[in-house]
Structure 1
């Protein structure tokens, strides 16, 4: 049995100024997006399309807006609609926590659509470029969850069971680490290798949707469901139900995408 270290939420403190771990994880995620994105746009197929580092920076800016706005709005709609309908001003209190990955994904998709129109290209060209850059950023986010001692797992007696003292004294799955390894690092490596060769347009995006949906669906069995929701139909969590359309769309793109690779 392990004990969560109860890290100081602030990674750096200088007087009254503090940089929090979660904010630092966001910065690391954005930095790796630019670093790995630069490697991808230097490949011949993207050079032939005229992609530049400025395009990558514009994509990141649009994506950040999509993540923040979509993540927050998605959380209010998917998880606590009754509360936020009764307290609409609380929607803007992002510092109190409450972000949804699936809402953030929808926000990013809208941002990619806007960028594709702005650049006079197709949505799938943009999404196929971005898809392999996302999982490693998600890994940083899950690491931030673990450092903050949030989104803990269900009780277990496995040797690496972890007690989160701010929650209770029950040994639990360190589900944040499971998700960091599965939907972050493992999926990132698979996507990076798969996308290193030309693929039919949309298949890289499809593999991301399918891979993330499956990884998240499975790791949710180790994660404690939200107390205010519990388990829903068929004993599945909200996170699992939101993964179902991702998996189906991913299978569709992987199966039926026949457009010639760029």
Structure 2
């Protein structure tokens, strides 16, 4: 594992923020490329990408700090240290949705069409960004028993990483990389060309991602709180899954159908 990738002009480049940025830029370029098919001005995508990056990062960090509030009360100087990870996707999602809604009101583009556009790019970015989790050792798994079928894919982290050192661990990061890649391909190949209403791609993405995070939560390690058998991440994922399904049902009943028909991939 390689928490620090390289040094550029005397500045250490950390793997997690590097791959997070690569995923965001790649997803942003994909959204700009696809925007005309959605009837959206690519310049609106560029402007929105800037604000969602800035505000979304703050929301993701705020969500993480709130999740471990007691720790950060004792160590307030660590609140702004991003290099080791410590971002909540759901915190960034809420702020990102609010940003898109506000920007859509300002610029006059359809909100649900834009979040459909963003969903595909987000799945791509999450897959690429999870490579940084693997290299840094963040979001590591629980110790993997020798009898587990996952033992052949278990990961052992070296002392320099953020993961638990020495023990073979469940491969949570590779599961996130592969799972988000599958979600990205599913949205592009199966959902996007045959969608029935605006917002279907986004709600499908959110449903699939929350299911993935709920599953990975069973084998994820780290200092998470628990309510009964479920971790904090699993409980939040379950709530967002229910939100996604309810949102999809409401949009379907409203009949916000795509006026442009089936679009090519």
TM-score (norm 1): 0.85
Aligned pairs (5 A) from 1:50-129:
51-77=40-66, 79-85=67-73, 88=76, 90-95=78-83, 97-129=85-117
Q: In 2, distance between residues paired with 1:94 and 1:164? A: 21
Tell me the residue number matched to 1:239. 233
Tell me the residue number matched to 1:3. none
CA-based RMSD = 2.0
* 1:141 maps onto 2:129 in alignment: yes
Q: 1:35 to 1:15 in 2, by over 3 A?
A: closer
Tell me the residue number matched to 2:263. none
Runs of 4+ displaced beyond 4 Å? 85-90
Q: 1:95 to 1:26 in 2, by over 3 A?
A: closer
Tell me the residue number matched to 1:248. 242
Look up the SS of the partner of 2:218 in the other structure: helix
Tell me the residue number matched to 2:188. 192
Deviates more, 1:60-69 or 1:9-18: 9-18
Q: In 2, distance between residues paired with 1:169 and 1:19? A: 25
Q: In 1, distance between residues paired with 2:73 and 2:93? A: 22
8 Å CA contact 1:203, 1:253 repeated in 2:
no
Aligned pairs (5 A) from 1:164-243:
164-166=157-159, 167-182=164-179, 184-193=180-189, 194-224=191-221, 226-227=222-223, 229-230=224-225, 232-243=226-237
Look up the SS of the partner of 1:195 in the other structure: helix
**Which segments of 5 or more consecutive residues in structure 1 lack a partner in the other structure?**
1-5
**Which segments of 5 or more consecutive residues in structure 2 lack a partner in the other structure?**
260-265
8 Å CA contact 1:206, 1:252 repeated in 2:
no
